Chain A
Amino acid sequence: MYSLQSRLGLWLGLMLVLIFGLHMLLMSNFPRYLAEEHILTRLQHDGESLYARLIIESGKAPRLSKGPLSPIYKTPLSGHYFFVQAGEHTLRSPSLEGETLDMPEVHPGGSTVLRLDGPLQKKLLMWVSETRKNGQAFTLAVAEDIEDIDEDISELRKAYFIGTSVTVLLLIFLQRFVIRRTLKPIEKTRKELLAIEAGEASKINQEVPSEIQPLVSQINRLLEVMHKRIERSRNASGNLAHALKTPLSILNQVAETPEILAHPELSKEISQISATIKTAIDRELKRARLVGGALPGQCFYADRELPELVDVMQKIFAEKSLHFDVSIPAGKKYSADREDMLELFGNLLDNACKWAKQHVKLIIMDEPGLYFVVEDDGEGVEKEALKSLTQRGNRLDEKIPGHGLGLSIVQEIVEQYGGQIEFGISEKLGGFSVRISLPETL
């Protein structure tokens, strides 16, 4: 699984860094190139005017014709130098103060540009020309200190780097903002889906971007279809139960009419058949009614529903005047079908009430999912029986009708919700104890 938001952010960010990196690489040498071109042109000009003034005579040191010399070549170590080498004779600008500049090899008639360390170990840009005048070959070099310009350029590059980095970061930040804003409807839909899973909503808002609109309407449609189907099958099983049980009630009454009671065998047989049919109806139809954890959009408010169920138990078992010890964390709810949960707790409490002498205990732990214990102070169950209890429909006590069936439905519900069930003997009350844990989500 991946997140659209982080994936978009990552790719767009990478592209920004790449583009700006390339740009920086291309642009960083540009100022140096410009500056050097500019200096070089000047050096060439200076070289040309020097050439014009140079007097070269065979066997004599080269000299300049009379006339003023630019002050920059006079000032000692001004950073502007020239140097003429004709055979063993040389002519240097006064600014050189007698220092020599290393001359490279230049083929006759050619010229070259190079960098070198000049006086005071400062960087120089030098233009060197191998030329002739009056039949004499000589080398003319003009150089300029570029240390300061180099420094300026580095400063510029640093500033440019910082500026660009800040821009990129700013753009990435803006991008994230834009992405988040654009994906906001998806995030909203995601939250609504979670709410549906938790049973706090029953459908998703349809006002979404056109890209996910079909998805949302499909989900809504499916939810509606599922709810309707479950409602229909529940109604059908309820109607079937109703349709079968009323005639069974009549059958029971018929079995008790004086005419039939005159033949006790016959009456007993009718009653037995009726009881068998009733058990089958209860077993199968109650099972068919279960929804299980498959349907989203369900919520069971334990702290509201269970006290009501306990009230019901108190009324049903009014003759026993039982004492209930109930503990439910405030606001406790669980994503499950209300009818399933009431069937689960109803059967467990009903069993407990039937067995109990005085006390029934229902404790819901304050833990994720649904984790609870139902205990009574009745006779409890033999160890052997505890083992066989987990078998489907194993009737614990034939004298208390429906007990085994109740537990098998409890077990069915727990299975459908992917939970665990544990039977035992209550340590405190001494009776039967059922411990059930249902996971948070399937």
Chain B
Amino acid sequence: MRLLLVEDDAQLSKRLKASLKQAGFAVDVAENGLDAEHAGMEIDYDIVVLDLGLPQKSGIEVLQQWRNKNRKMPVIILTARDAWYERVDGFKAGADDYLGKPFHVEELLARIRALIRRQHEDAPNKFHLRGYVLDEEKQQLLNDETVIELTGIEFRLLRYFLLHPGKILSKTRLTEHVYENDADKDSNVIEVYVNHLRKKIGKDIIETRRGQGYIFRSDD
């Protein structure tokens, strides 16, 4: 899950980025309105966390620009300006959710997860896979007896597959949604992680389409 965090307070964004990464998101940070607008136009983010009081261009304007250019990624506004008229204006500009500062990270994560789930309407409340349940907070697959631990990248990759079952996903697309901007990207690394997942869950769970990418087979 690729996430854009737009926040001008460096201290807050540093901590928030760490928390979000830990929760399994590939996090890019934009510190001003113009950078944010550009990033949102160029990259298909799975979710955006947007502050409103930004230097150079206000969050509302940035959001309006995205929506005008038909950028439909879910946006959650995270701001200290939480008067009701500001919320109404935020939603009118195209926001999908609104969270007032100060907030707790769990609150933000819960809202992000709910929003992503709403975005993929057919996604279940909890992901089930071959008798296992995906615990998004602990990043584990569980059944009554065993626990399968997942690394950060494995978890991100698996969750992306789970949200897009039965679709051909190219390596580039997977890379884009699993890694953040500043990561050392090599789409061949995806192959390695796909193999890890196959080993942990089952070989036939991810089918390779030569020259096209992978298809996730969620047979339950």
- Which residues of A pack against B, CB within 8 Å? 238, 241-246, 248-254, 256-257, 271, 274, 278, 286, 289, 305, 308-309, 311-312, 315-316, 318-319, 338-339, 342-343, 345-347, 350
Contact = CB atoms under 8 A, between A and B. Distances in A.
B103 A338 contact: no
Nearest to A345: B84
* Interface class of chain A by DSSP: helix
Given A248-B101, A250-B15, A252-B104, A312 B88 contact: yes
B91 A256 contact: no
B114 to A, nearest CB: 6
A346 B89 CA distance: 13
> Which of A243, A286, A312, A319 has the largest count of B CB atoms less than 10 A from its CB?
A312
B192 interface: no
B83 interface: yes
B87 interface: yes
B102 A318 contact: no
B12 A238 contact: no
Interface of B: 9, 11-12, 15-16, 19, 53, 79-81, 83-85, 87-88, 91-92, 96-98, 100-105, 114, 118
B102 A278 contact: yes
8 contacts: A248-B101, A248-B102, A251-B102, A254-B15, A286-B83, A342-B83, A342-B85, A343-B85
Contact of A346 (B11, B87, B104): B87
Contacts of A271: 104
> Which of A252, A286, A350 has the largest count of B CB atoms less than 10 A from its CB?
A252
A280 B83 CA distance: 15
B12 A253 contact: yes
B158 to A, nearest CB: 24
A253 B102 CA distance: 10
B81 A246 contact: no
Given A253-B16, A308-B88, 8 more contacts: A238-B83, A246-B12, A246-B80, A246-B102, A252-B104, A305-B88, A316-B97, A350-B84
Contacts of A253: 12, 15-16, 19, 105
Contacts of B87: 312, 316, 346
Nearest to B9: A246
Nearest to A237: B83
